[in-house]
Structure 1
Amino acid sequence: MITVFLADDDARFRAAYRKLLDRTEGFRVAGEAGDGLAAVRLVGALNPAVALLDVQMPGASGLEAAREILATTATRVIMLTTFDLDEYVQEALGLGASGFLLKNAAPVEVLHAVRTVHAGHAMLAPEVTARLLHQFAPPRRPTGRHAFADAVLSAREVEVARLVARGRSNQQIAEELFLSIETVRTYLRRMFAKLDVRDRTQLAVLTYEAGLLYKPR
C-alpha cells in the first residue's frame, strides 16, 4: 500500500486527487493540507511514502515545505506545477524532490508518477524536462572540481547521463545507444553510487550543472 499526502490550497483539486487515489487499489491518502506549514507538520506526524506538494501555497510555499520535509523525513516529494512555474521546479529538484507533475496530468500519469517515485526513481515529464534545462541559461562549462570529475565517469556513462538530463526514458536511451535495458540500468546504478545521488532527477541536475548537456564540438 502506497500512502500519499496531498498539499494544495485548492480544496477541489485535493478532492479530485483523493478520489483518484482512494479508489485505486494499492494507494491510500494518508492526509492532506491546504498550506505549506500544515503540510510540514502533518507529513512529519503521518510519515507518508510520497507527498504531492503544490509549488504555490499560503503560509509556506511548496518549496519551503519540500525543503523541511526532505531534510527531516524519509517521505519522497513530487512537486505539482504549471508551465508558468518552471523556475520553481528547478529549485525543487536541487532540494532533492523526486520529480514533478503538471497539474493537468491525466489520472494514469498521476498514478504512474507516484508508483515510480515510491519505487525510488525519479518522475520527470520529458516534455518539461528539456524546457527546464534549456530556459535559464546556455549549457555551462564546469569550473573547478566537480562531482563528475571526481567520480571518473566513463565516456559511455556520460552519454547515458546526458540523455537522462534530456528527459529520455531507459527504453529511449537503450535504443539511441544500441544497448539493452538492463545495461542502461547497470550504468545508472553505477553512476548513482559514484556521484552519491539517489535518483535520475539529481543525476539530471548534476549533468546540467557540469555543462554536459551537449557533446563538446
Structure 2
Amino acid sequence: MQASFATPFVTQGGDRPLFEWRWVERNSDAIAQRLGEHLALTATALAIGLVVSIGLAIVSLRHRRFYAVTIGTTGALYVIPSLAAFALLVPFFGVGSFLSAVIPLATYTLLILVRNIVTGVDQVPRDVREAAIGMGFTRSKLLWQVELPLALPVVIAGLRVAAVTTIGLVTVTSLLGKGGLGYFILIGIQAPIPYPSPIIAGIVLSVVLAVAVDLVLWLSERVLAPWARKAAVR
C-alpha cells in the first residue's frame, strides 16, 4: 500500500526556507516506508552478490586462469552506467519490478567482493595451510574452516565498500519506481517550483544510512575477527 504524501509544492508568496522540518513531520510514515525499501534493496543485493562472489572466488582459487576471466567480466559489468543497467531489465521484468532493480545492484558488487575474497584467501600464511594439511584437512575443509575465516577481515572490508556503493546506487532506482530514499530526491526535482526539503532529506538520510551500515559491518569485523585487531596493534 502506497503512502500518501503531504508535500506542499507551493507556498504563499513563493518563499520557502531551504529545509522545512514540518515536511518531515507530515511525511514521517512515508520516510519510514522508503527507508525500509532502501534497506531491503540493499540487503538483498548484497546477499545475492556475496553468494555469487563466493562461488566465483572458489572457482577462481581452484583455477587461476578463470580468475582473470572473472575479474575482466565483472569489471566490464561494473563500468556499465547504472541507469542503462536498470533500463536493460525493464523489458523483461517491467517498470517498478523488484528484480529490475536488485539484479543490477547485485551485479555491481561482484568485482569488489570477488577480488577481496580471493585476495583475503591468498594472504593466509603458508605455514597455517601446511599445519592444517598436516592435521588431515581436505582441500574443501581447509577452505571453509581455515582460509575463509582467516580472510574474513579482507572480505568484510570489501563488503563495506560494496554496501556503501549499493546504498548510493539504490537512489537511482527511483526512476523505476523502486527508489527507496531516492524517491524524495525525485519528487523534489520534479516539483513545479524547486522544492529542496525532500531532496535534502533523501540525500542526508542516504548518507546517514551508508555511515550506519558501514559502522555495523566494521563492528561485525571486530567481533567476528578479533585476531585481526590484535595483529594490527602489534
TM-score range, shorter chain: under 0.3
Q: More relative contact order in 1 or in 2 (CA 8 Å, sep 6+)? A: 2
Q: TM-score, normalised by structure 1?
A: 0.23
Structure showing greater Rg: 2
